A and B are shown apart, each in its own frame.
Chain A
Amino acid sequence: MSTSRIAVLGLVALPAAFFAAFFLVPLATVLIASIMKDGSLTAANYTRILFDTYHWEVLATTFRLGLLTTVICILLGYPLAWYLVRMVRWKAWRRICVILLILPLFTSNIVRSFGWMVLLGRNGLVNESMEGLGLIERPIRFLGTETGILIGLVYILLPFVVLTIGNALARVDRSVEHASADLGASPASTFWHVTFPLSIPGVVSGAIMVFALAVSAYVTPALLSGGRVTVLAMLIFQQYSSVFDFNYGGALAITLLAFTLAMIAAASLVSRLGAR
């Protein structure tokens, strides 16, 4: 009996301990550091951030990139998901497509970002072929611009959207689409009035995931910006890795978290109001 009680206790305590160890403690450490300076409690780290237009500019860049990444990922990801779920008839081909989609997730972000550096560089494939086609005379600068970062982020985060939307599309009951057609709706009309609304949960969860990952991304912006465009994650990394100001860095991290959560909350509020 006592072993089973211990087991039950373990069943409750282990996940709680796991959660505490891997989520609460690190977050609390950052939070506490962010309200400390020289050993005393202070809001100085936050006022330093919030009363400085520089930080607002960095925040704006970060969230502009996050939003654009999200929008482009959805615009590209929806048709891809549709193709995978609805058009591919041959099961083996679908499996290959899904593997191709997921495979990059198993390789390092760094490797994939370096790949884009090669493609987007001055002498990269993109510029070379555009020059070859006579479209441009001088190479276009992608690296070190927001466009370059955007391309990298979209490429890295696209699979998440395809998977969440694909999952939502696969769960749409085909009989309601039949019902729509039966009631006189053309295929396009059925898509807009039935399929798309029913896939919105997948779109929203994919969008939230991509947005959160995009605004917190470090490796891709750091590599593709070449240090010429600054996003908040790069500022945070800088404070932690070379300046060693964990208080200011912590405050930056909490600021990013707070703004991200606020954006997501606002988005879900809007989508819920829109659904009514």
Chain B
Amino acid sequence: MKSLSLLLSASVAALTLVSSGASAQDKNLTVAWYGGNWGDAFQACVAEPFTKETGIKVTAEIGTSTTTLAKLQQQASAPTIDVAYMDGGISELAQEAGVLAPIDLSKMPNAANLSEKAAYKAGNDVFAISGGYYSLGLTYNTKEIEEAPTSWEALWDEDYAGAVTIPSPSNSAGIPFIFFLNKMLGGTPADMSATFAKLKELDANMFFDSSGAASNAFQSGEVIIGAHFNVGAWALADAGLPIGFTVPKEGVWATDARLHLVKGSKNSEAAEKFLNTAMSAEAGQCLAAKLYLGPAVKNVELTPEVSRKLPWGEKGSVDDLLLFDWNEVNAKRSELTETWNREVAR
């Protein structure tokens, strides 16, 4: 008995220690962002300058956009996250779920740099600002395909049969990509049957769930052409692999990583400052250099080498990106996923 009560009191002591440790963080901001090289880039380009400027430490909460949204919903009453990075699409869902606080751009001097469409509004309130754009472009193996294809039709080229990849609906780009193809093929949002018929003809090697799976398939040579994010494709190319990324004549669909203030955050002032740092030209330049994220702020100076790897390609600009209304995409998500399951994934 004695040893048991000892054990119990020891665990109580341990719990107390943990909770007191948690409350001891005064000058600290918790920011949710993604794992891997994305998280590293946000750390280097935004969090570090922010800490340097304000002395406030940044604690990273790593997770995908979906995971972050789930956390925000669970913690709605007492959030531990102050700022959340989430992708377009999930951003709208978070807004709908009521876990976001409105962003007052007038309090942030750098907001003047922000391009107009990079502030997302629900009614009159800004609920998200863009942290940089990325696109799903045509990615190919330069060893197998010497000249950059000019059209998405190349995916259906017989030469590449069985070695093609596009995102599955489980990937955040999956449903928007169907919208994109539908637009390209002249379908209407109400009738996508022609698009699905075309998708059915596609002799795909795989439909990727995660961008890592796509990178892996390109790297191993399993796939020689497909839709892949500029971020992932150029990372492969930079690693010395024979991978090219191009924006075909039909354009590319793109989305962005967005920053959000969390409703009920106890560090809202620090959080606003963090957003301000994120909107600086330096942060934009840094993220463009590290991830090839297309800056959402103006006046960012870039080297030609970085410039050509941005989501809009060598000659384009932010205006060339096809940014769908995510509310429209989300409304069709369930239906299109089911159609995909029945028509394509079998």
Any A–B CB pair closer than 8 Å: yes
The interface of chain A, by Cβ under 8 A from chain B, is 3-4, 6-7, 10-11, 54, 57, 114, 117-118, 121-124, 141, 143-144, 222-223, 225-230, 234-235, 237-238, 241-245
Establish whether residues A143 and B334, one from each chain, have CB atoms under 8 Å apart when the complex forms. Answer: no
Establish whether residues B341 and A235, one from each chain, have CB atoms under 8 Å apart when the complex forms. Answer: yes
Q: Name 22 A/B residue pairs within 8 A (Cβ), A-sorted.
A: A3-B1, A7-B1, A54-B342, A117-B222, A122-B222, A123-B222, A143-B205, A143-B206, A143-B222, A144-B205, A226-B205, A226-B206, A227-B204, A227-B208, A227-B209, A229-B346, A237-B170, A238-B337, A242-B174, A242-B175, A243-B169, A244-B93
Establish whether residues B66 and A241, one from each chain, have CB atoms under 8 Å apart when the complex forms. Answer: yes
20 further A-B pairs in the complex, CB-CB below 8 A; given A7-B8, A117-B222, A122-B222? A3-B5, A7-B5, A10-B4, A114-B216, A117-B216, A143-B206, A223-B209, A225-B206, A227-B204, A228-B346, A230-B345, A234-B170, A235-B341, A238-B337, A238-B341, A242-B170, A242-B171, A242-B172, A242-B174, A242-B175
Residue of A4, A7, A124, A141 with most partner-chain B CB within 10 A: A7
Within 8 Å CB of B207, what residues of A? 226-228
**How many Å lie between the Cα of A245 and that of B335 in the bound state?**
11
Q: Is B182 an interface residue (CB 8 A)?
A: no
Q: Is B168 an interface residue (CB 8 A)?
A: yes
B330: nearest chain-A partner, CB-CB: A244
Within 8 Å CB of B171, what residues of A? 242
Interface on chain A toward B: helix, strand, loop, or mixed SS?
A: helix
**How many Å lie between the Cα of A117 and that of B169 in the bound state?**
21
Q: Which of B163, B221, B222, B345 contacts A227 (CB 8 A)?
A: B345
The smallest beta-carbon distance between B158 and chain A, in angstroms, is: 14
The smallest beta-carbon distance between B266 and chain A, in angstroms, is: 27
Within 8 Å CB of B220, what residues of A? 117-118, 121, 123-124
The smallest beta-carbon distance between A56 and chain B, in angstroms, is: 13
Chain B contact residue count (CB 8 A cutoff)? 35
> When each residue 84-119 of chain B gets 1 if its CB lies under 8 Å from chain A and 0 otherwise, what string results?
000000000100000000000000000000000000
**How many Å lie between the Cα of A234 and that of B341 in the bound state?**
10
Q: Is B121 an interface residue (CB 8 A)?
A: no
The interface of chain B, by Cβ under 8 A from chain A, is 1, 4-5, 8, 66, 93, 162-163, 165, 168-172, 174-175, 204-209, 213, 216-217, 220-222, 333-334, 337, 341-342, 345-346
Establish whether residues B221 and A243, one from each chain, have CB atoms under 8 Å apart when the complex forms. Answer: no
Within 8 Å CB of A227, what residues of B? 168, 170, 204, 206-209, 345
Within 8 Å CB of A243, what residues of B? 169, 333-334, 337
Within 8 Å CB of A141, what residues of B? 162
A110: nearest chain-B partner, CB-CB: B212
A138: nearest chain-B partner, CB-CB: B162
Establish whether residues B204 and A122, one from each chain, have CB atoms under 8 Å apart when the complex forms. Answer: no
Establish whether residues B341 and A242, one from each chain, have CB atoms under 8 Å apart when the complex forms. Answer: no
Within 8 Å CB of A144, what residues of B? 204-206
The smallest beta-carbon distance between A101 and chain B, in angstroms, is: 26
Within 8 Å CB of A222, what residues of B? 170, 209
**How many Å lie between the Cα of A234 and that of B1 in the bound state?**
49
A3: nearest chain-B partner, CB-CB: B5
Establish whether residues A230 and B334, one from each chain, have CB atoms under 8 Å apart when the complex forms. Answer: no
Within 8 Å CB of B341, what residues of A? 54, 230, 235, 238
